[in-house]
Structure formats: C-alpha cells, structure tokens
C-alpha cells in the first residue's frame, strides 16, 4: 500500500516515526531560506503575467482555477497562454508546446497529467511547458502573440517577474500540520506569503471560513482574500461516453480510486453526493497507472455499481487499453463565491496597469 502523504502532513502529534522527517524538514528549511534570500534579477515577459500557486505541496485545486482564469482572459479579448513546468512529465526539451489552443500535440507521460488536462480543456489557449517559464512565455508570445501569461504553480518560480501573484489555500486545512516538507506539506514557511498579492481560499462554503479570513487579513493586511469552491459537474463513462449529472451517484454502491495530492477531498465529494463507498484506494500523486492495476481494481469492484476516479487520474488511464463499462470519472469546475466580481476586477485592473486592456 503506497504511503498516504496527505495523512502524514495532517498529523500534529510528534512520534518516534517522525524523527527522521523532522530532521529532513530542518535541512529543507535551510535550503529554502538560502534560495529565497539569494539576490536575483527577475526576467520580464512582454505582457501581463499572473501566477497561480500555493504554499503547500499540491491539493489546493490549481488546475481548475487555471482553467477559470484562462477562460476569463479569453472572454475579455486577451490572448492568454498557460505556462507550466510540466511536473511529473518525461519531457526533456527546453520548450514543449503541449497545445496550440486547438490541437493537442503531447500526452500525459511526456507533458505531465496537469498540463495535458489543461490542454484538453482549454480551447483557444496554448499550453506551453518549460522548466524556465520565461522561455515558455517567449515561445508563446512569438508564435501565438500571447499577451496574457498564466503561470501554473508559479509561486516558487522566483526567476520570472509577475504582475499579480495569487496564492491558493485550502480553506479546510491551509497549512496542514504547519511543518515544512517532508514532515509537513509546506514548501515554504507561512510568513513567505508576504510575497503574494492576493489569496484565494479553495473548497470554501459561504460563511464557513471567517476565522481564517480574519487571520490572513490581520497577518497580511491590505492583501485581499477571496473564497472559492470546487463544484462537481459531470460523471462520464468513457466506454460509452454517457454523461450524467452529479445526482447520478445518489444511493449508488461506488468503488473509487485516486492518485491526487489530497484523495480525502475526492472521497468526501463522493460521500456528499450520496454515494455509498464500498472500496476506496489511494495512490501517490501523479501515479503512473498500469493496465494490470486497473484490471485488478475492476475485479475488486465487481459488486459495485461503478468504479470512479478523478478527471486528472483518467488522463493517465485512457490510453491503457482498458475497456470496462463501469469505469467512469468525475469532472469539477472552479467557482468564485461572493467576491467573484471583486476578484476579476483585481485581475482586470492589474492588467490595465501593465497596458493590457
């Protein structure tokens, strides 16, 4: 059984088993302190740059947030492009064009599951990956005329100047056990949030996070705090391409699996939709599934009404040649709550300050 890091990162108790992790966290903290204190000149792209990032190791829902921002920019008449590092992909090219906004040229193994999923979902928005986001941006500008650059997971990418730095925080558990990697989920200490321009609390519900909002406003005054939620939208059975609304799961006996940063969120979503979960398997984030693993799960789920996973997991499975009527995946969308207008006004104003209108 693979290690569930999301559970480890939520543990507050200090036990003998955490001694090594605590020591490694101390070393990691020294490396982070050195890296962020090192003087550097940030390169500037020819256009507006907005970064969507987080302080923790995944699990805040950046991918659907990037879809939302990119679609808004497109609707506003900008020429957006999504710039990603391509984490988890095998690409070794300096710059890889995953999509030109119309055709997808890569696959999840090469590009990474998140850039590939973004390329599949975003029409009219190129997706470019490079370890040097500046090179990806120049490529997008020169080939596609991009003037609106969206950095996916950009908070720790310190070499590129940005005009708006947005950090996403999980409203349910924003800092985990408040320890640095690998003992906790933090990539940087909490006080480094001072570099951000705005915060978006994900997985919020109306009036559910006043303490966290007040805490952020007190510690980081003048930095706006917005709230958002992930809404389940469709259940898709790819064998038949039959599509159902979220109510489909009500009362169903469901087997489920996921290889995402916080699988508990997926499980909770299924439960809230009324599913009776008879089997739930957890894999490491970005897990490269094998056909044998999926076939074994299909056998284990033979008494269930369906075998469901996330859309991000599905893109790592679809080319394995597995044919099963019960196999399906859940899609979600990112939606701002009451502060939606204020959020997009902020983005619009920052873009106008850069001369992008």
Lowest mean pLDDT segment, chosen from 152-156, 209-213, 215-219: 209-213
* pLDDT at 210 exceeding the cut of 80: no
pLDDT at 248: 98
Q: Where are the beta strands (DSSP E) in the chain?
A: 48-54, 80-84, 96-99, 127-129, 148-152, 164-170, 198-202, 225-237, 242-244, 253-258, 276-282, 306-310, 327-336
State the pLDDT confidence band at 209, using cuts at 50, 70 and 90.
Answer: confident
Return phi, psi of residue 234, to 5°. -145, 150
Structural domain spans, the chain: 48-224+339-353, 232-333
The mean per-residue pLDDT over the stretch 254-271 comes to 95
Residue 40, pLDDT > 90, answer no
87 pLDDT higher than 90:
no
Q: How far apart are CA 147 and CA 344, in angstroms?
A: 17
pLDDT digit string, tens, across residues 317-328: 999 999 999 999
Between the CA of residue 198 and those of 50, 97, 207, 238, 342, what are the distances in Å?
11, 29, 19, 38, 11
Provide the pLDDT for residue 4.
67
Provide, rounded to the nearest whole percent, the portion of the chain with pLDDT above 70.
Answer: 98
Paired tokens of 347: 């983005």
Phi, psi values for residue 316, rounded to 5°? -90, 0
Q: Tell me: domain 232-333, CATH 3.40.50.2300, correct?
A: yes
- Equal CATH topology for 48-224+339-353 and 232-333: yes
For residues 40 and 166, the model is more confident at: 166
Place of tokens 């706006």: 224
Q: Give the Cα separation of 233 and 334 in Å (integer).
A: 10
Q: Are 124 and 101 in contact (CB under 8 A)?
A: yes
Mean pLDDT of the chain: 93
CATH 3.40.50.10320 fits 48-224+339-353, yes or no: no
């Amino acid at each position: 059984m693979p290690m569930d890091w999301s559970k480890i990162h939520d543990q507050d108790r200090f036990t003998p088993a955490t001694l090594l992790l605590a020591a490694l966290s101390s070393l990691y903290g020294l490396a982070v302190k050195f890296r962020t204190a090192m003087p550097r000149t940030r390169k500037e792209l020819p256009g507006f740059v907005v970064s969507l990032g987080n302080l923790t190791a995944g699990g805040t829902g950046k991918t659907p947030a990037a879809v939302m921002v990119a679609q808004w920019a497109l609707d506003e008449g900008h020429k957006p492009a999504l710039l990603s590092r391509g984490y988890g992909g095998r690409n070794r090219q300096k710059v890889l064009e995953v999509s030109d906004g119309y055709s997808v040229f890569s696959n999840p193994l090469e590009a990474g599951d998140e850039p590939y999923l973004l390329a599949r979902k975003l029409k009219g928005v190129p997706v470019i990956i490079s370890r040097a986001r500046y090179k990806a941006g120049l490529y997008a500008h020169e080939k596609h005329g991009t003037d609106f650059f969206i950095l996916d997971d950009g908070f720790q990418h310190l070499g590129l100047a940005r005009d708006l730095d947005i950090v996403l925080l999980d409203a349910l558990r924003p800092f985990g056990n408040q320890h640095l990697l690998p003992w906790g989920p933090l990539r940087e200490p909490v006080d480094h949030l001072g570099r951000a321009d705005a915060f978006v609390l994900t997985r919020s519900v109306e009036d559910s996070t006043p303490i966290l909002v007040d805490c952020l406003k007190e510690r980081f005054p003048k930095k706006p705090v917005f709230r958002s939620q992930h809404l389940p939208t469709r259940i898709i059975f790819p064998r038949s391409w039959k599509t159902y609304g979220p109510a489909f799961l009500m009362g169903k006996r469901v087997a489920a699996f996921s290889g995402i940063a916080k699988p508990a969120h997926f499980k909770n979503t299924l439960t809230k939709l009324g599913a009776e979960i008879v089997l739930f398997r957890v894999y490491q984030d970005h897990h490269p599934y094998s056909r044998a693993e999926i076939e074994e799960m299909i056998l284990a789920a033979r008494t269930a009404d369906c075998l469901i996973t996330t859309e991000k997991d599905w893109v790592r499975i679809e080319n394995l040649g597995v044919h099963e009527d019960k196999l399906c995946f859940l899609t979600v969308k990112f939606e701002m709550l009451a502060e939606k207008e204020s959020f997009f006004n902020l983005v619009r104003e920052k873009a106008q300050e850069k001369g992008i209108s």
